[in-house]
Amino acid sequence: MRGMILLGSALLLLAGCSTAATTHKAVEAKVYNETFNPRQKEYPNHVGFNDLHIQAIRHLMPDTDDVNDPKLQAIVHHHCKAYDDGTLICMMFHSGMKDQDKPIGFEYIITGEQYASLDKAEQRYWHYHATEIPRAHATLPDLTAEEAGPLLGPIGSTYGKVIYFQKPEDKLPIGEPYILVVQDLPEQD
């Protein structure tokens, strides 16, 4: 039964990832994904990372072991691009996505089927969105509740891997990139 639900969710996700629209004259490529961007909101000069905007806490490595570390409450903006293979890649920004905001990392999102194909050692780095979306207080700020509702099922059935190449406070990407194992971070209210 669970496999059928995951398969159905994956098919729904894949079906919505079409980026071409047919007109009466020709087929024209869209610069947004109609499923994840139902209002067709376009953000110029963002290399296609305009399909979906997600805001979430618990996505920064805390400076201390304290559950009240401010980085655990900091909002990280995910600006995502959906691909035809069911994956999404989200550029992550700690301050938004205005003209001079620089990404600090990315989250790679895959389907449940793709996750199941990974070996156990690799699966450790991925978090299940059905669990993490509520823990991260994730929101879709550019969509109304009616627009966001149909996306929650497909998004919840995916897995994400967060990779950082820069700390928010650094002006340049200093040190080694790292994987943030989101499910290991402390709970936040």
pLDDT for residue 30 is more than 70:
no
pLDDT digits (tens, 9 = 90+) for 133-162: 999 999 999 888 998 889 888 999 999 999
Residue length, the chain?
Answer: 189
pLDDT-derived band at 98, boundaries 50, 70, 90: confident
Tell me how far the alpha carbon of residue 8 is from its chain's centroid. 20
Q: What pLDDT, on a 0 to 100 scale, did the predictor assign at position 54?
A: 93
pLDDT for residue 17 is more than 70:
no
Residue 155 CB neighbour total at 10 angstroms: 23
Q: What pLDDT, on a 0 to 100 scale, did the predictor assign at position 1?
A: 39
Q: Please report, in angstroms and rounded to a whole number, the separation of the first and last CA atoms in the chain.
A: 33
Tell me how far the alpha carbon of residue 180 is from its chain's centroid. 14
Q: What pLDDT, on a 0 to 100 scale, did the predictor assign at position 66?
A: 86
Q: What is the token pair recorded at 101? A: 């905001």
Alpha-carbon gap, residue 95 to 104, rounded angstroms? 10
pLDDT: is 4 or 102 the higher one? 102
Closest CA to 130 of 106, 110, 107, 153: 153
Q: What pLDDT, on a 0 to 100 scale, did the predictor assign at position 46?
A: 52
pTM as predicted: 0.76
What is the pLDDT averaged over residues 83-102?
86
Q: What pLDDT, on a 0 to 100 scale, did the predictor assign at position 133?
A: 93
List C-alpha distances in Å: 56 to 33, 144, 184.
21, 17, 15
